Structure 1
Amino acid sequence: MARNKELAGFLLFLSQFPLLQAAKILTISFIGGSHYLLMDEISRILHHNGHQVRMFQQIADGMLPGRQAQQSPYPVSTYSLGEEYIREYNAVFGKSQKEYLLGQHGVHNFLTFLNELSYQCNVTLHQSDILNFLMEEKYDLAVIDGSNPCCFLAAEKLGVPYIAFFPGTFMNAAKVGVIGPVSYVPSLQTQLTDHMDFFGRLKNTLMYLASPIIERKMDVVFQKVIDEHFPLGSRPSIADLHLKAELWIYNVDFTIEFPRPLLPNIQCIGGLLAKPAKPLTQELEDFIAESGDSGFIVVTLGSMISSLPLVEFLKEMNDGFAKIPQKVIWRYKRSEWPQGVNVAHNVRLMDWVSQNDLLGHPKVHLLVTHGGMNSVMEAVYHGVPMVGIPLFGDQYANMVRVEARNLGTFISPDQMKAEKFANTIREVIENRRYKTSAMKRRAIMRTRPFPPDKQLLGWVEHIIQSGGGGHLRPYSYQQPWYQQFLLDVILFLSACVAVIIYLILRVIRAPIYFLFSNRKQKEN
């Protein structure tokens, strides 16, 4: 009898937590490369766990150059930007690549890229057939690429609540209310670690004060798009749409990221693409076997960069590889290799590589990388040291973290010379401290309490079940800026102190005046 009562009580307890029905989830991805790979992985995780998933995707030649198209298990709504624009954009992107390889990666380059995204966004929001179809589907939630302002505008246009997934580290932290102490939380553009001396803290403070100006310049780029596609009186701002997200998920793991305080609506789920390695093709195994005890290294400079537009830069890299004993598997589009340049004897060019599987091979010794977060995460997961050639975005900041954790080092692209490159590779491979640190970080990453795919699924389902993320967002999102920075309080306290000082001076002044008056009378 008692046992039946316990069972009835347990069933009553379970009834308070209704099972989550399959939710209708829209994923939005308008940028190719690693951005698409992450959004595709998110879509697959949600799809394989019983949810109805559809991706709203921009397609274009060159989104993943060299990679064969993969069959999607979930439906996709796609549109194209048009062949003429794609040619123009590729020309702009090619010019930007040259500038990056020359070490030019300032705000101007990023604003140029944002202007292209703004034009693409205008085309996107004119896809009325797709937008009307998606509105009629009435999605419960959207998961969007949080690095592209257009994804926020598309979700707002569709009227769907959204989770923002940021594919890198905390580049936009201030925009979502994550203001870390400037004394030990470095701004990404500073290339500082969390161990800053006086001048480091000074540099970090100045960058912190300048960042709101830069962010406003970035948001203004999309103002014309907002004015055209949203009616007067209900036009959102990019800043407000950042705060409107039900949840922010960052592709970050504190295995390498510097610790910092976070808000409850900020979750760090890094390494979604880092997984146990699958077997390689027999052709690749035969090539690796030729390396003997020297092993091999993997070279990839990002999923969007399949070739190098500067021949001199290419020659320096190629000549550097020729000076090392390891075999080199280099992701490089063979049809775009310049005539007159002989591929180094130990190099094998491949249009596309399965980077994660290569990094899991027992004979791999090094990853030469642009420093993208996905590549860094995969290398850490497999315990592989790195040599970075950062080009733009968060890549410099990522490599600073790699270097701070003794996982490798990096070379600025404008410093690329064959001898220096080869010596750097030899140092990282032969100095055991890099491999030791890599294996330590691998153990930290692999022993996380919950794998990243389970974290992602759990948080998405939590937001759906709880009816949004309002309980996670701080009240600061609703406060005006002067209240957030306590300027009204500081002004009030300053006024109080000024009044007290004034009264004290008035009280002291009377006896002093009286004493001086008496002294003068006596002297007279």
Structure 2
Amino acid sequence: MDCCQWYSALLLLPLLALPSCQGGRILVFPVDGSHWVNMNILLRELHSKGHEITVLRSSNSWYIKEQATHYNSLTISAPDASPVGQDFFTQFLNRTLDIQMRDRSLLTFLALQREVSVLLTKIHRMASQTLVTIFEDPQIIKRLQGFDVVLTDPTIAEGLVMAHRLKLPVVLNVRWTTSGEGHFAIAPSPLSYIPMTGTRFSDRMTFTQRLLNVIIYGLSLYSERFIISAQYDDLCARYCDSGTDIRTLLQSADIWLMRVDFVFEFPRPTMPNVVYMGGFQCQPAKPLAPELEKFMESSGEHGVIVMSLGTLVQSLPREVTAKIASAFAQLPQKIIWRYIGERPQNLGNNTLLVEWLPQNDLLGHPKTRAFVAHGGTNGVYEAIYHGVPVVGLPLLFDQFDNLLRLEVRGAAKVLDFATMSSADYLQALKQVLEKPSYRRNMKKLSTLHHDRPMEPMQSALFWIEYVMGNRGAAHLRTEAYKMPWYSYHSLDVIAVLLAALLVFIITGIGVFRFLCCMVCKRRKTKRE
């Protein structure tokens, strides 16, 4: 082969590397709020690769716009008197904080669990009602034909049921399922070293913690069966195959795009169809708006603290914001605080309140010294990506456990909103700012996070196109979900082996007694 031929071959290499699936049709069933933020980033990348995307959205969506350049939308009328909105979550947060501030007893824990159960019941009931609206409308069903794959967030089960109804392969953009942390629904999860969400345990548990972990797992199974799955049972009976339930639909998904990696997550067993894409939404910082850049530079050698409590939290109790504002006012650093609500009266001159902030770009700015965060997965990974240590103020759901994972690795200091004082908050801020180990440990996590053979976004895109090109990925999916629970845990095998052992022992005892009787008879005969 001459030089020209070699050169032509080299030019063709990028074409050979292109994925086999181009221009697929993707049906997206997302979850609103912060979950939509990262799903939308993934959709933009899919659109840039030539895929046609249709997003199912509710008529009362918070963030999912009806008009967008990178997807088509299909708007579904929300159930009447929908109870779940941003105001609802604000009220829910205030109720849970109020409960925690009263005392720290078992009754407090049970009261919190009741609040969460009520919330989950309302969410999943509304989701099942939405699906009935879709399935009973022939025009909508007609518009849902001809897709190649369903991409969904299984925190709510609508997309799973939809994919089963349309007989389409499923890709999950997942951290949470209807019943909890995603791994528990698909992978072996030994409770001896894998903590349940909400326990605030690490992977090194004492005996007492392991005991509590098992009890909470039992409560989780109860909640899954009688609170969550109950909302979908009638739906599955009407529109799915016999014997289908939500857990079966989850375990039959083709690919799980898991929004964590093992820089952050505790080591644990996994499965071949679980693809880790933690931090896929992160990117290098872009230049700030002139007024923000001026504020950052004005901080001098002390730098800036960025504070944001995510998309769901619209306001905090006045006494809590007063504690935070008081601590900030005593620092030499400048503060940018994403804040909505009544301005605290004791706010210092060093604090800038904004209703929205470019979080990723601020965290990537060289003047940023610390990040005050509630512990949502998106914010945690942006902090890891840019190597910024965290002061954690968890509020709801998984946030406590997310921040625990950073604290265990020495990259965060976590406080309890319900019990902290202004002095506690100030001390935590100074500790993270002044103790070099916090920044050093976070920089180490950042280095590990960046040191990978493929960017997480590229990995996610590859596997979505893989499922479309191959009409699924059944060869990567375990068939264990089709087994009865007693077969999965080999209880039937153990029962047979124990029965065989029992028969062997009984037979042995019988033979021994028979031989003893024979010996006794012979001795008696000899004496006579």
Tell me which interval the TM-score lies in, with the shorter structure as reference length: 0.7 to 0.9
| Pairwise CA distance, 1:32 | 2.2
Residues 42 and 483 of structure 1, relative CA distance in 2, 3 Å threshold: same
Structure 1 equivalent of residue 453 of structure 2: 449
Find the aligned partners of 2:240 and 2:479 in 1 and give their Cα distance: 27
Name the structure 1 match of 2:229.
220
Tell me how far 1:317 sits from its aligned partner.
1.6
Q: TM-score, normalised by structure 1?
A: 0.87
Q: Would the aligned equivalents of 2:67 and 2:73 in 1 still touch at CA under 8 Å?
A: no
How far residue 195 of structure 1 moved from its aligned partner, in angstroms, is 1.8
Alignment check: 8 A CA contact 2:248 2:481 kept: no
Give the secondary structure class of the aligned counterpart of 1:494.
Answer: helix
- Post-superposition Cα deviations, 1:95-138, rounded to whole Å, max 9, x if no partner, equal 211133344784323322223323432135415377235324x1
- 1:113 equivalenced with 2:119 (yes/no): yes
1:164 counterpart (167, 172, 183) = 172
**Partner SS state of residue 268, structure 2:** coil
Q: Which residue of 1 aligns with 2:288?
A: 280
Q: 1:289 aligns with which of 293, 297, 306?
A: 297
1:316 aligns with 2:323: yes
User: In the superposition, relative to structure 1, how do residues 386 and 231 fare at CA in structure 2: closer, same or farther (>3 Å)?
Assistant: closer
Structure-2 separation of matches of 1:248 and 1:61: 25
Give yes or no for the alignment of 1:469 onto 2:473: yes
- Select 1:207's aligned residue among 199, 216, 233: 216
Report if aligned partners of 1:175, 1:239 keep a CA contact under 8 Å in 2: yes
- 1:496 maps to 2:500: yes
Deviation for aligned residue 1:398:
0.7
Alpha-carbon distance between aligned partners in 2 of 1:60 and 1:322, rounded to the nearest angstrom: 39
Does the CA contact (< 8 Å) of 1:403 and 1:409 recur in 2?
yes
Correspondences of 1:320-469 after superposition (within 5 Å): 320-333=327-340, 336-337=341-342, 341-469=345-473
| Residues 507, 366 of structure 1: alpha-carbon distance in 2 compared, 3 angstrom cutoff | same
User: In 2, distance between residues paired with 1:462 and 1:233?
Assistant: 26
Q: CA deviation at 1:281?
A: 1.0
User: Normalising by structure 2, what TM-score?
Assistant: 0.87
Which SS does the other structure have where 1:101 is aligned? helix
Decide whether aligned partners of structure 1 residues 98 and 491 sit closer, same or farther in structure 2, where only a CA change above 3 A counts.
same
Q: Residue 20 in 1 paired to residue 21 in 2?
A: yes
Partner SS, residue 248 of structure 1? strand
**CA deviations over 1:425-484 (Å, ceiling 9, x no partner):** 111111111111111111111111110111011111111222211101112122111110
CA distance in structure 2 between the aligned counterparts of 1:357 and 1:59, rounded to whole angstroms: 32
On the 8 A contact 2:148/2:471 being kept in 1, the answer is no
What letter is aligned with 1:324? Answer: L
**What one-letter code is carried by the residue in structure 2 that aligns with 1:307?**
S
* Superposed displacement of residue 253, structure 1: 1.2
Amino acid at match of 2:268: R
CA distance in 1, matches of 2:334, 2:396: 28
Q: Hey, what's the Cα distance between the residues in 2 that align with 1:303 and 1:166?
A: 18
| Count of matched residue positions in the alignment of Structure 1 and Structure 2 | 510
Which residue number in structure 2 is paired with residue 93 of structure 1? 89
Structure 1 pair 126–366 and aligned structure 2 pair: CA distance change class (3 A): same
Question: Does residue 302 of structure 1 match 2:307?
Answer: no
Q: Are the aligned partners of 2:124 and 2:156 in contact in 1 as well (CA < 8 Å)?
A: no
Give the gaps of 5 or more residues in structure 1: none
Q: 1:249 — aligned with what?
A: 257
For residues 274 and 170 of structure 2, what CA distance do their matches in structure 1 show? Answer: 14
1:188 alignment partner in structure 2? 197
Q: Taking every aligned residue pair, what percent have the same amino acid on both sides?
A: 31
Aligned-pair Cα RMSD in Å: 3.5
Is contact 2:285-2:362 (8 Å) kept? yes
Q: Structure 2 matches for 1:68-87, cutoff 5 A?
A: 71-79=68-76, 81=78, 85=81
CA separation in 2, counterparts of 1:18 and 1:284? 41
Distance 2:292 2:417 in 1: 29
Supply the distance in 2 between the matched residues of 1:433 and 1:492 (Cα, whole angstroms): 56
Deviation, 1:41, is 1.1
Give the C-alpha shift of residue 355 in structure 1.
0.6
Distance, in Å, in 2 between the alignment partners of 1:302 and 1:371 is 9
Check the 8 A contact 1:219/1:239 in 2, yes or no: no
| 2:307–2:338 CA contact under 8 A, matched in 1 | yes
Write the distance in 1 (CA, Å) between the matches of 2:189 and 2:36. Answer: 29
Displacement, 1:88? 7.0
